[in-house]
Structure 1
Amino acid sequence: MPRASSPTRPGSRAARSTTGRWCWHARPMRTPEATRRRAATERRGRRAEWLALAALMLKGYRPLAMRVAAAGGEIDLIVRRGDTIAFVEVKARATLVEAQGAIGRVKRQRFSRAVRAWVSRNPFAAALTLRADAVFIGGRGWPVHLVDAFPIEGL
């Protein structure tokens, strides 16, 4: 008698969901409206990152990298001032309250994983102070920089 949890059994829910997940022809196509919305969101995010970088540079930070993807996570900005490297998460929403609530537990875990990967590839950073900052952009106001916004897990 086959196991009830076997995903390879024909007709099982897992077998059907795998088809939808991996076959391009089985997935619904993205509508032009959804594609336009996604592109607009991407542009807003990039604009917010540049605005955040400009605000940090006015505070004396020097950019080291932007949009670093590593180990399943992404770091929006990496900046340095003195002997401190700040890994910055940028969040832009309609209001500052929404922006501040947008960094959840899973996002912090992915962010920390990406930071650990970046530090392992850049050994000069081990001798410096490392912290996770956040820049929140809400509405039309100036970006709010939160120093040491959350701990970097596993570092």
Structure 2
Amino acid sequence: MREAGEHRRVTERRGRSAETLALVALMLKGYRPLGTRFRAAGGEIDLIVRRGDTVAFVEVKARGTLMAAQGAIDAQKVARFSRAARAWISRHATCDAATFRADAVFVSPGAWPRHVVDAFPVG
């Protein structure tokens, strides 16, 4: 039991570090943060950023290699992510004129985060 809890804490710290690095990379590209770790019934969005009229919901994946990170988003994850994105949109009527998309940022040791624009459908 104790080992599982420790593993969860290590994974949580790694995920938060990856999200911070992803956010810095996105900010350097001109995005400004609107939110982090947005949770809604059935899903979570790691980062929500905006550049111009585009709001991007961002899934951050940290793995040992970029290839492993890219393979970490499956259909079930996309469905949960899309539910959360729709919930965020419904709660933020001020973003009516915005274009929405789902991006991904893949983080691996020794490499700059890889930002994939429009990685999967928002739903």
Provide the TM-score with structure 2 as the length reference. 0.98
Structure 1: distance between partners of 2:41 and 2:95: 18
Runs of 4+ in 1 over 6 A off after TM superposition: none
Q: Which amino acid is the alignment partner of residue 95 of structure 2?
A: A
Distance of 1:39 and 1:86 partners within structure 2: 28
Shift of 1:126: 2.2
Q: 1:104 aligns with which of 74, 79, 83?
A: 74
Which residue, 83, 95, 98 being the options, matches 1:113?
83
Aligned alpha-carbon RMSD (Å) = 0.7
Matched, 1:63 2:23: no
In the alignment, structure 1 residue 72 sits paired with structure 2 residue 46: no
Rounded to whole Å, the distance in 1 between the matches of 2:83 and 2:96 is 15
User: Deviation of residue 62 (structure 1)?
Assistant: 0.3
1:125 paired residue number: 95
Bigger relative CO (Cα 8 Å, ≥ 6 apart): 2
Counterpart of 2:56 in structure 1 is 86
- Give the whole-Å Cα distance in 1 for the aligned partners of 2:40 and 2:52: 25
Partners in 2 of 1:125 and 1:115 — Cα distance?
13
> Structure 2 counterpart of 1:44, which letter?
R
Task: Give the number of the structure whose residues are more often strand, by fraction.
Answer: 2
Structure 1: tracts of 5 or more residues without a match: 1-30
Distance 2:95 2:57 in 1: 12
| Residues 28-73 of structure 1 deviation map (CA, whole Å, 9 limit, x = unaligned) | xxx2111111100000000000000000000000000000001210
Larger radius of gyration: 1
Gaps of at least 5 residues in structure 2 are none
Q: How many Å separate the matches in 2 of 1:39 and 1:134?
A: 23
Identify the residue that residue 113 of structure 2 maps to in structure 1. 143
Aligned residues: 123
- Among candidates 33, 49, 54, match of residue 19 of structure 2: 49
